[in-house]
A and B are shown apart, each in its own frame.
Chain A
């Protein structure tokens, strides 16, 4: 059992890591542990728990900026933004649903460390595209900041982006500042050129699992329109003209649309059970080719990001959960990555959960890790074996 160290201030995080660096004691770095099932299992005598670093430290709606300590629950931040009719535009997904753990439990620091995004990725990008500044403690036990609280900023290297998707392996994030944006006045979901903010395709099996799509009989292509009322109404008419004759279509009201896109965001159609689950990112038009190459596997799937994101549950118990086939198909389709986001600890040890990199790129990533964490004490092995 790992001993949990739970500092309440950034200074305490610094003290802890400086001690661990000196003693060469590996630390499992985590927020509230909602994504602990992703990546290679970390074996560490001590756990650095950042969930006591809480509180929004700055929120200026007119300036579209919010700062918070890294352990602040995302749900708390989203509620605060909602009161001001704002949101994190990149629509961070919640991994709780597919892991059968608490939903709404993640932290804002985890949002950056995992570079979360959602269906609006098409238009709005991911956490990396909205982070403005960070403070963190490197594996050397040095506290540093990068970026700031303004959008236009090219002062020095963008270490805020550098920590996006680093899964706690370069530094422990103590504070984040994000750009926030107005919530859309209204939205509608339907099945172009109409400034859609999300596009997903669900085969009949996946669609059948979502109550919002109960009226559909078979596969569903879902498109989302968001914005000011008159704009959505205008684009809806334009969209209808584009898709006329392409099949029957339904329109969802705001409530059903929000709930449908939340379900798609959180991979609800594949959440049930414990089958290994892959999140595959390829060029949008390559999604179909990747699926076609997996005919020998028994999989369930659906697409988001206009075909560029494939959620894939592997049912037939192949030893590697289809890793080799899937990654070969991704490479053949022009590149991208396949991440195992759900799998047993044994599986996550046996195969690399994150896409292996070409040697020169892997060596560069390793040098970056070594520069920030020379003793390898932060989440050792989480992203790469031995890294």
Chain B
């Protein structure tokens, strides 16, 4: 992806920059429009920092009406728009376009309503993920999806990326925890999908919006489910002599009917990096470490802890430690949660991958990853959402050494192709963005991608919202709309008729 090709900038739009900024200032007065390079600099990249691009102009609207007018203006004037939440995307989902308006939702930062009886919170999209939990936890509630960027990432961005986190094994992804949105189409039309009711009818447009990476619409309000905080939570730290043993232990826990609140695995390089960084008390003499968290009513957690310890012992666990209090539980997690920065300490740069595989393929994928590591001559550390098969290999490289970034990217692409080959997918939770865009044909054939683009055509026929992301080739909607008819006789000797 180093030679990333983005849609060619529209010269006419580039030439109208001052006029466009002025028109946007009419809609969003005051400080809400930024067109000075110094002011726009913070927006030139997101969490995928290898790629940078200055936008045409930045606009930070404050209310839905302004969003609607900005989008209608851009639609009427054929100007591209890149929506942005907190800019924490790891796949370049918010990478600006030279001829595109960057539409930031950071001013949509209010919690509008908490309705405990119906167990929902209504929030603006710029509210951070963690802030939802912080708002309700005093009353014994929390918001379940917890991506590791939760301190910074926004709920609107979570909807765009269908964010996950360690708890999604038991509590689901963003898609399972959002009940409704208010959103604005590129035409400026404001629509509502879902609400406080559990079931929605008609086409599941909310399901299509969740994970659509800013290509279908701009979310301006989100209704999320809040859950009652578990009565208690305890974590077990289990070390294994081989990753096969750890993988079997995961399979046996699930086979026993136990769905833990979280189940995370780290390999030896990741364990060492994390332990050196936070001193969580991880064993150093193991090849794989599992953190299994059980949460729920006290009586249930006590019962399941005993079952998990037994299963771990049966799978050759070399160490088993159960957290004895909340401080220790937090410490067990501290190492895992700091795994990325911990790896950042032992390498100038690292590149985080995000494939998902069927769990049983883990030993094969880890073995092949080690071979690739030798081939590309780059180290790799693995952290793994073991319960749901989501693998995060961290490829260590040094961007200052010519060719290393390209090698890291080629290595990463090979890992993702391997994930698809064993029955998995390119991205579990970080999104396609620009990063995995050109790998989409590894997983989808042309007809598969055409159907996805037809969804895009229903929402945004002119391809103005976040073009250049997700799809390797953008077909014009008129071209996609053509019917290829097969005239002829009812064709079926092989179709029984009754």
Contact = CB atoms under 8 A, between A and B. Distances in A.
A241 B115 CA distance: 25
Q: Which 9 A-B pairs have the closest CB atoms?
A: A234-B299, A161-B207, A231-B300, A182-B257, A152-B428, A283-B196, A371-B454, A336-B197, A22-B485
Interface residues of B, number: 104
A62 interface: yes
B298 A6 contact: no
B191 interface: yes
A311 interface: no
B483 A374 contact: yes
Contacts of B424: 148, 150
B450 interface: yes
A146 B161 CA distance: 17
Interface stretch (A122-130, A212-220, A261-269): A122-130
A3 B496 CA distance: 11
B145 to A, nearest CB: 12
A374 B495 contact: no
Contacts of A281: 197-201
Interface of B: 115, 117-120, 161-162, 164, 168-169, 172-173, 175-176, 185, 189-193, 195-205, 207-208, 210-212, 228, 251, 254-259, 296-300, 302-304, 356-360, 385, 388-390, 423-432, 436, 440, 443-444, 447-452, 454-459, 470, 480-481, 483-488, 490-492, 494-498
A104 B204 CA distance: 26
A110 B184 CA distance: 32
A195 B204 contact: no
Contact of B457 (A144, A185, A371): A371
Interface string A327-361: 00000001111010000000000000011011011
A354 B201 contact: yes
A31 interface: no
Contact of B432 (A63, A149, A154): A154
Interface stretch (A73-81, A200-208, A362-370): A362-370
16 contacts: A6-B498, A19-B488, A23-B487, A115-B199, A126-B199, A129-B172, A150-B424, A152-B425, A157-B212, A162-B204, A162-B207, A164-B207, A281-B198, A335-B192, A355-B202, A371-B481
A272 interface: no
Interface of A: 3-8, 12, 15-16, 18-19, 21-23, 49, 52, 60-65, 85, 115, 117, 121-122, 125-126, 128-129, 138, 140-146, 148-159, 161-162, 164-166, 170, 181-183, 185, 193-195, 227-231, 233-235, 238, 281-286, 305, 308-309, 334-337, 339, 354-355, 357-358, 360-361, 364-365, 367-372, 374-375, 383
B125 to A, nearest CB: 18
B204 A164 contact: yes
A255 B487 CA distance: 57
Contacts of A370: 458
Nearest to A282: B197
Given A158-B208, A238-B297, A368-B458, A15 B495 contact: yes
Contacts of B390: 150, 152
**Interface of A (DSSP majority class):** mixed
A145 to B, nearest CB: 6
Contacts of B203: 162, 165-166, 170, 365, 368-369
A243 B175 CA distance: 33
Contacts of B168: 151-152
A43 to B, nearest CB: 19
Contact of A231 (B197, B296, B428): B296
A3 B497 contact: yes
Given A140-B484, A309-B198, 6 more contacts: A61-B255, A155-B426, A166-B203, A230-B303, A284-B119, A371-B455
Contact of B211 (A15, A85, A122, A157): A157
Contacts of B254: 62, 64, 182
Contacts of B193: 361
A230 B210 CA distance: 37
A154 B488 contact: no
A62 B360 contact: yes
Contacts of B455: 157, 159, 162, 368, 371
Contacts of A335: 192, 195-197
A145 B428 CA distance: 17
B356 A150 contact: yes
Contacts of A12: 492, 494-495
A233 B492 contact: no
Nearest to B298: A234
A61 B424 CA distance: 17
A140 B484 CA distance: 8
A227 B195 contact: no
